[in-house]
Amino acid sequence: MKLTIIGFWGGYPKKNGASSGYLLEHEGFNLLIDCGSGVLAKMQNIIEPEELDAVLISHYHPDHIADIGVLQHARLIQGFLGKSFPTLPIYGHSLDNTEFAKLTYKEITKGNAYLPNDVLTVGPFQVSFLKTDHPVTCYAMRIEANGKSIVYTADSSFKEEFIEFSKGADLLLCECNFYQHQNGKSAGHMNSVDAGRFAARAEVKQLILTHLPHYGEVSKLISEASTEYTGIIKLAEEFQTISL
CB neighbour list of residue 23: distance below 8 Å, 6 or more residues apart: 3, 4, 6, 30, 31, 32, 33, 43, 46, 47
3-state secondary structure of 95: coil
Give the per-residue pLDDT at 82. Answer: 94
pTM recorded for the entire structure: 0.97
Residue 67 CB contacts under 8 Å (≥ 6 apart), including other chains: 21, 35, 36, 37, 38, 39, 40
Mean pLDDT, residues 24-52: 98
Domains defined for the chain, CATH in brackets: 2-243 (3.60.15.10)
pLDDT at 154: 98
Residue 232's beta-bridge partner residues? 206
Q: What is the pLDDT of the chain when averaged over all its residues?
A: 98
Give the model's confidence band at 84: pLDDT under 50 very low, under 70 low, under 90 confident, else very high: very high
What is the per-residue pLDDT for 96? 97
pLDDT of residue 90: 98
Q: What is the pLDDT of residues 179-207, one digit of tens each?
A: 999 999 999 999 999 999 999 999 999 99
Q: What is the mean pLDDT of residues 151-168?
A: 98
CA proximity to 76, closest of 46, 106, 112, 96: 106
Percent of the chain exceeding pLDDT 70 equals: 100
For residue 74, give every residue at least 6 positions away whose Cβ sits within 8 Å of its Cβ, in sequence order, or none. Answer: 40, 49, 50
* Mean pLDDT within 28-49: 98
Handedness of CA 170, 24, 133, 116 (dihedral sign): negative
